[in-house]
Structure 1
Amino acid sequence: MANKDPDTQTATQTQHSGLWSQIESQPVEPVIWGRLYGKNLKIKTLDLCNEIFNVGRNESNHLRIGEDCLSDRLLSRISKVHFSIRKDTNDLQSPTYIMDKSRNGTFVNGYLIGTGKEMILKNDDIIALSHPNYKALLFKDQCSSNELKDLPKAINDTYYVSRKLGSGACGEVHLVYDTKSCKPYAIKYVKKNALTEGSKRRVLNDPQRVMNEVNIMKNLEHPCVIKMHDIVNTPDSVYMVLEYMKGGELLTRITDNEFLSEKNAKLFFLQMCHAVKYLHAKGITHRDLKPDNILLRDSNEETLLKVSDFGLSKFVQKDSVMRTLCGTPLYVAPEVLMTGGRGSYTRKVDIWGLGVVLFTMLSGTLPFSDDYGSPAVEQIKRAKFTFRHRSWKSVSSQAKKLIYDILTVDPNNRPSIDDILSSTWMRDPEVIQKAERLMNIKLTGSKKSLSDVENNNDRVFAEPPKKRQRTK
């Protein structure tokens, strides 16, 4: 191809440069994230596009309330800045906040905000000035999420629904905010209807199973177990409002870093073990321990961890067995696979799950996979795994030994949770001290230690205990 003439090339570059200059110099249209409509207040429709919008008697306000809007009697009750509305324009799914700055009160749907306090505005909220009956303005949210539709009134009245945090076979998780306290939560939305698997109809999200998760979580109190804040039960769905863990899933933390350092993995594993110890003391077997179900408080490298998602858990007596085939295939214990779910297995399935999670944290890989030359199911049944990833070169022999002990086919030879906590690798004073600081409780050696909580064998029930039936 012939080279371009230098003068022609220069002219072309100049034209492109001029074009980009024109594009860059064009004003960016502001995003309208909300609108205010007058009700008893005589104003035109106002578009909200600034981060902060002030309303009051002062001329400097974005909306000035003067004699042309109100009578002298009502105007005397309006403050110079009566209220302000703010929005993070960099995150249009974030809530819209209204702050009461008046001496006589600002009301939203009849609720008094309180001087110097904030609440969240939602679509169609009515703002009243100085008295709940003086309904001045109607707010329209131009950025409200449409992902969750037909929410029950109890949810719509209490929470602002923001972005989706995750989803799975059983439902979705969204970030929500309590409109009065402005506190963030995670809401898990679960349908109770059946799910089709192949040609066989199997009810996974039946009402009894869904409410089982609810009844378990309502009564749990442990620093490393997710706490339920609220529950709304409808004929076809359950909405569980849970603690919001802004650090996200442990799985994401692992994949973002490829794998975790041994010290950090030990800190997380120690917290997981204490959560499982607590659950087992309460007669609860989780049965689906995996990095997806472990949540982190924040993005700090050393942070609090909480076990979540009890959809596959159920109460069992110490001498009871579970006969249901469940759990995530690559994390499920061999005794479950070998019996096809028709045999008997105990809480030792959680020990196996802990071992798989520990392996994954230290290497960023799974111990069992169809990619390793044979079916993963057969690998699990024989506990056939190797430390093949390069990360294992820097992992201590004590950590590897603990994984070997945990990933034992025979559950009777598998260590208990107390055995794991007393293992050589876990007796690390520095890590224990960090865990105590994060959990805000002494693990041992104090009158109010976590050991007292975990060893309390009082059963937790949503209702008074009833006569138990034999587990099927």
Structure 2
Amino acid sequence: MSKIKKSQTQKDESVINNLQEKEKENYGKLLSTTEGLDSVLLKKSEIFSIGRDQTLTLSFPKNNRISGKHCTIEWVEEEETNYGLKKYKVIIKDFSSNGTYVNNQRVGKNKEIELFHSDRISLSAPQGAKSKQPKPVCEFVFQDWSVIPPENMNKGIYKEYEIKHLLGTGNFAEVKYGINKKTKEKYAIKIIDKKKFIGPQDYVGRNRLMDEVKILTRIRHQNLVYLEEIFEDENYLYLVLELVTGGDLLDQIINKGAYTEKKSRIIFKQLLEVMDYLHSEGIVHRDLKPENILLKLKDNDSFIKVADFGVSRIIKHDTFMQTIAGTPAYLAPEIIFQGDKNGYGKECDYWSLGVILYVIISGLEPFGVEEGNLKGQYKQIKTANIIFPEEEFGHISVAAKNLIRRFITVDIKKRITIKQALKHPWMLNKNKLVKDEFQTEYEKDSDSDSDSCFDLKPNSNSNSNSNSKMKSSSNSNSNSDSESDSNTKKKQTKSKNNIDENNIRKRKLVNVSEEDGITKEKQIKQNLKKQSKAKQKN
């Protein structure tokens, strides 16, 4: 009986497995741009060190411009998040006298900073030094393999994907329909033009971009458009995204009218849960609106996918404000009036959630003004001046309007949080607000007065007409889930009448249906006459 030997196929598989294991050990590469100096791999299991000391990973024993221990580069894995995802970062520490430079900025002795994909590292001098100044001893480009795998760096996306018709366009990107040549799977490929918002020397912008890409690669939620893989070349970043074929929420409302309270609750619960997940991962959307809420399938108008939760983070505030100029209806007042001077957090998404719920349930926008009258719109937003027109909200429950008001509150400390909203009576399908029943649970998650969350009294931010609207609507049937078909059809007809398809161009950065490669020009029309009449009565 002879011994069993490995077949050639088994040997090949063994070699492949060994290579894969080695790739898992390595998190990146220092690509040398210095003549005569080889590139080096970076391992998760060791701290990469550079200096004159010959015991270090990379040694320059005879170069006096290099310190004994000049700098180190280390992979740092952080604790798992609430959703089981592991976070990490790559840290470079400077111990030198002559300096360690990242993108021509000196780190500083005994200081550390985080490294990002495509960062340029130089030792003892910045890059591009003048002729009379000393040149760097060595220069590297950091490649983060978790951002872009090494196999994707030397081949173009066009070798892997067949890229077809245009699905949508935006200020910084366009989205095209793509098919994987091997698997035949269909995707939406977002092509981001890096030159439009990061210049060749804008290392901060590049860091911001790659930081965002790193986030996109690690998050997973059933209500998020997932990122399959990434490609990059000199001018463009290619994001291969899940293809969502149901269009967006705005188009759905335009075409079929406002949702019933029952369906609104189904959609809004998904929206609250996915935003709670993003916030737990440290991601603030900042540009949440119906155009960025997609419907997974054409025949299911209740299964949503949130898109573009990363793009707004990689754009500088001034540029971001320019991109939304003319359409600030969903932005929180702290973004519009404070900018990024005082900073803003996840509370700005809370505000947007309230505006979106208003739109879903009525087919109207709460801050409606004449086209081009941004000053008037800003004034409404600054004071949270919203009303609930009887025709659209007369049949809507008091609890629903209460939740909208709790989100659309100027004072961020009084603005309802997502965790509080998930326990709100409307979300629990309870149309009568029973204070004692929710008091204990609410206090657990709130730093503010619990009475303010479930109190039916109108918000002090509203005008007197808003108060009267709340009172009049409270006398109507609060259980909208049992409303008649005739009322539903009437509401949908009214919603369609409030659409102006030629108002402004709706430029998408998101997926649309496979057959529809044309960006649509639609936006919810403002209910000006009703609001102006209501103000005149006051």
Amino acid at match of 2:426: W
Report matched runs for 1:88-237 at 5 Å: 154-194=156-196, 206-237=205-236
Partner of 2:259: 260
CA contact (8 A) 1:186 1:241 kept: yes
Tell me the SS of whatever aligns to 1:284: coil
Deviations 1:145-170 (A, max 9, x none): xxxxxxx9522111122222211112
* Number of equivalent positions: 265
Q: Taking structure 1 as the reference length, what is the TM-score of the superposition? A: 0.52
Partner of residue 335, structure 2: 336
For residues 247 and 414 of structure 2, the distance between their equivalents in structure 1, rounded to whole angstroms, comes to: 34
Residue type of the alignment partner of 1:274: E
Question: How far apart, CA to CA, are the structure 1 residues paired with 2:175 and 2:317?
Answer: 29
Q: TM-score, normalised by structure 2?
A: 0.46
- The alpha carbon displacement at 1:326 in A equals 4.3
Give matches, 1:285-434, under 5 Å: 285-309=284-308, 310-313=310-313, 326=320, 328=324, 329-371=328-370, 375-388=376-389, 390-428=391-429
Amino acid at match of 1:164: L
Distance of 2:380 and 2:403 partners within structure 1: 19
SS at match of 2:273: helix
Contact 1:194/1:206, CA 8 A, preserved across alignment: no
Deviation at 1:368, TM superposition (A): 1.2
Provide closer, same or farther for how the CA distance between residues 213 and 389 of structure 1 changes in structure 2, counting only shifts above 3 A. Answer: farther
Quickly say closer, same or farther: Cα 1:324–1:280, change in 2 above 3 A.
Answer: farther
**Which residue in the other structure is 2:243 paired with?**
244
Contact 2:259 2:361 in 1 (8 A): yes
Amino acid at match of 1:260: Y
**Distance in 2 between residues matched to 1:304 and 1:423, nearest whole Å:** 22
User: In 2, are the aligned partners of 1:359 and 1:366 still within 8 Å (CA)?
Assistant: yes
CA distance in 1, matches of 2:247, 2:268: 16
| Contact 2:295–2:301 (CA under 8 A) maintained in structure 1 | no
- Check conservation: 1:191, 1:236, Cα contact below 8 A: yes
Q: Which one-letter code corresponds to 2:376 in the other structure? A: P
Higher mean C-alpha displacement, 258-267 vs 183-192? 258-267
Q: Aligned AA for 2:156?
A: A
For residues 255-294 of structure 1, give each alpha carbon's deviation from its aligned partner in whole angstroms, at most 9, with x where no partner exists: 1113222222211111111010001111111111111111
Letter in 1 for 2:377: A
Q: Return the alpha-carbon distance in structure 2 between the equivalents of residues 424 and 306 of structure 1.
A: 25
Q: CA deviation at 1:312?
A: 1.6
Identity of aligned residues (%): 33
In the TM superposition, structure 1's runs of 4+ consecutive aligned residues that sit over 6 Å from their partners are 322-325
Note the C-alpha offset of 1:204. Answer: 13
Tell me by how many angstroms 1:424 deviates.
Answer: 0.5
Segments of 5+ residues of structure 1 without an aligned counterpart are 1-151, 197-202, 315-321, 430-472
Amino acid at match of 2:174: E
- 1:180-234 Cα distance to aligned partner (Å, 9 max, x none): 11111111111111369xxxxxx89943343233122101011111110010112
SS in 2 for 1:337: helix
For residues 36-55 of structure 1, what are the structure 2 equivalents within 5 Å? none
> 1:176–1:187: 8 Å Cα contact kept in structure 2?
yes
* Equivalent AA in structure 1 for residue 338 of structure 2: T
Give the superposition deviation at 1:417: 0.8
Q: Are the structure 2 counterparts of residues 399 and 258 from structure 1 closer, same or farther at C-alpha, using a change threshold of 3 Å?
A: same
| Code of the aligned partner of 2:385 | K
Cα distance in structure 2, aligned partners of 1:325 and 1:272: 27
Q: Is the deviation greater in 254-263 or in 417-426?
A: 254-263
Q: Deviations over 1:97-127 (max 9, x none)?
A: xxxxxxxxxxxxxxxxxxxxxxxxxxxxxxx
Partner SS state of residue 345, structure 2: coil
State the distance in 2 between where 1:313 and 1:404 align: 27
Cα 1:287–1:205 shift into 2, 3 Å: farther
